[in-house]
């Protein structure tokens, strides 16, 4: 008998699916699991946030193709990165329950699932199998479980922090918002009760406390860049660095106040009124992204 080496049987299965449809732009939106309430008409109270942020991604496809094989039969196999039938098959495999991996242009590999059912658009007349533009929504799967006080915002952003990381200045224990290149509008939130009297007449009560102000900041453009090794560039032009603005948001989120210097009212204590939204970047934009809207809510002192 031949003296052969005993072989150990094994099976390796990679069940993690990869979202392999790269021809799109992506918008990013944060969501917070926080307890908030109102005291009066415009005053908001927000409790401490006990869980890390979640992000949703809206993928905008300008078009995709419905293709056939060499026999003229509809098939998801030809040019799968452009093939709508391949995307449909990917959705039917995963549906809205099974997670997969998505390569985000800013955050790198993130674990996601479909946030909405797939919607297949109409075809374009004379388009040779092309369809109209459509969107796909993905929701990031939680990667951190446990005490949120142990959550490190710097590590939440893909690439981690690069050497020469710039922290934010502080004043009286609060961070200082130091991104000056914006246009701003201010809006008072009403506290008076208005009672209609008929015929267009109304009666308004005098408010019992000052009216709150909301400030809407419009940044025409900010940039997001990486250095060698895939680390986030924090230091280049910090006043217009989107990665640094996102880091500030992750440090304070929608619950913690920070200092903001208004061009008319001076230094005010504010907090983010809405979760941060990062718009889609343009093709060949060299990292420049915009316009970006940020909404701040004045905090009573």
Three-class DSSP labels, the chain:
CCCCCCCCCCCCCCCCEECCCCCCEEEEEEECCCCEEECCCCCEEECCCCCCCEEEEEEEECCCECCECCCCCECCCCCCCCEHHHHHHHHHHHCCCCCEEEEECCCEEEEEEECCCCCCCCECCCCCCEECCEEEEEEECCCCCCCHHHCCHHHHCCCCECCCCCCCCEECCEEECCCCCCEEEEEEECCCCEEEEECCEEEECCCCCCCEEEEEEEECCEECCECCCCCECCCCCHHHEHHHHHHHHHHHCCCCCEEEEECCCEEEEEEECCCCEECCCCCCCCCEECCEEEEEEECCC
177 and 294 both lie in a single domain: yes
56 and 138 both lie in a single domain: yes
Please give the pLDDT value at position 79. 92
Give the residues across from 29 on adjacent strands: 56, 277
Please give the pLDDT value at position 191. 67
| Closest listed residue to residue 192, CA positions, set 25, 36, 40 | 40
CATH number of domain containing 26: 2.40.30
Task: Kindly tell me if the per-residue pLDDT of 243 is higher than 80.
Answer: yes
Per-residue pLDDT reduced to its tens digit, 90-101: 999 999 999 999
Cβ atoms of 192 and 89 closer than 8 Å? no
167 and 287 both lie in a single domain: yes
227 and 289 both lie in a single domain: yes
- Domain assignment present for residue 284? The answer is yes
Please give the pLDDT value at position 1. 47
263 and 280 both lie in a single domain: yes
182 and 142 both lie in a single domain: no
Please give the pLDDT value at position 12. 43
Place of tokens 């005010």: 268
- pLDDT confidence bin for 11, thresholds 50/70/90: very low
Domain extent for 101: 17-149
Per-residue pLDDT reduced to its tens digit, 176-215: 999 999 999 999 877 666 667 776 777 666 666 677 889 9
Per-residue pLDDT reduced to its tens digit, 244-293: 899 899 888 888 999 999 999 999 999 999 999 999 877 777 788 889 99
- Domain assignment present for residue 11? The answer is no
Task: Kindly tell me if the per-residue pLDDT of 122 is higher than 70.
Answer: yes
Please state, in angstroms and rounded to a whole number, the distance separating the CA atoms of residues 301 and 210. 11
Q: How many domains does the chain have?
A: 2
Beta 36-38 vs 288-289: how paired, if at all? unpaired
- Domain assignment present for residue 164? The answer is yes
- Domain assignment present for residue 276? The answer is yes
- pLDDT confidence bin for 301, thresholds 50/70/90: confident
Please give the pLDDT value at position 190. 73
Share the mean pLDDT of the chain. Answer: 82
Beta 288-289 vs 222-223: how paired, if at all? antiparallel
CA 143 to chain centre: 16
């Amino acid at each position: 008998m031949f003296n052969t080496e005993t072989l150990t049987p094994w099976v390796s299965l990679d069940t993690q699916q990869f979202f392999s449809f790269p021809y799109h732009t992506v918008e990013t939106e944060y969501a917070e699991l926080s307890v908030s309430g109102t005291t009066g008409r415009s005053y908001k109270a927000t409790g401490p946030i006990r869980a890390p942020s979640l992000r949703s991604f809206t993928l905008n496809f300008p078009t995709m193709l419905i293709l056939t094989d060499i026999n003229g039969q509809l098939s998801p196999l030809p040019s799968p990165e452009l093939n709508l039938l391949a995307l449909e098959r990917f959705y039917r495999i995963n549906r809205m329950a099974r997670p997969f991996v998505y390569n985000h242009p800013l955050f790198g590999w993130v674990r996601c699932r479909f946030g909405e059912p797939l919607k297949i658009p109409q075809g374009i007349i004379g388009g040779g199998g092309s369809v109209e533009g459509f969107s796909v929504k993905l929701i990031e799967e939680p990667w951190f479980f446990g005490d949120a006080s142990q959550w490190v915002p710097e590590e939440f952003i893909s690439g981690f922090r690069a050497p020469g990381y710039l922290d934010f200045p502080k004043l009286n224990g609060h961070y200082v918002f130091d991104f000056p290149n914006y246009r701003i509008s201010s809006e008072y939130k009403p506290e008076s009760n208005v009672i209609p009297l008929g015929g267009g007449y109304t009666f308004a009560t005098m408010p019992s406390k000052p009216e709150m102000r909301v400030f809407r900041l419009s940044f025409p453009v900010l940039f997001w860049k990486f250095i060698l090794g895939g680390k986030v560039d924090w230091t280049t032009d910090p006043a217009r660095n989107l990665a640094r603005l996102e880091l500030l948001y992750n440090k304070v989120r929608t619950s913690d106040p920070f200092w903001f210097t208004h061009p008319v009212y001076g230094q005010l204590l504010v907090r983010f009124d809405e979760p941060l939204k990062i718009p889609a970047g343009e093709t060949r934009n060299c990292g420049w992204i915009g316009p970006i809207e940020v909404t701040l809510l004045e905090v009573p002192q």
